[in-house]
Structure 1
Amino acid sequence: MEAQISKDERIELRVSATDKRIFKRAQKLSGDKSFSSFIVRVVKEQAQEIVAKNDRVIATETDRQIFFDAVFNNTKPNQNLIEAAKRYKSKKS
Structure 2
Amino acid sequence: MLAFCDDVCAPAPRSERMEQRTTIEAKTLIERAARALGVNASEFITVSATRAARDTLQSYERTALQPEAHKAFMAAFDATEPTPALLDLMSLHVEVTQAA
Question: Which TM-score tier does this pair reach, normalised by the shorter chain?
Answer: 0.5 to 0.7
Runs of 4+ that moved beyond 2 A: none
Matched, 1:28 2:38: no
Q: Which runs of 5+ in 1 are unaligned?
A: 59-77, 79-93
Specify the alignment match of 1:18 in structure 2: 25
Structure 2 regions of 5+ residues with no counterpart? 1-8, 65-84, 86-100
Shift of 1:33: 1.8
> Larger relative CO (CA 8 A, sep 6+): 1 or 2?
2
Q: CA deviation at 1:26?
A: 1.5
Q: Which amino acid aligns with 2:41?
A: F
Please report the RMSD computed on the Cα atoms of aligned residues, expressed in angstroms.
2.4
TM (normalized to structure 2)? 0.50
Indicate if the aligned counterparts of 1:32 and 1:38 stay in contact, CA closer than 8 A. no
TM-score after normalising by structure 1: 0.53
* Identity score, percent: 23
Number of aligned residue pairs: give it: 58
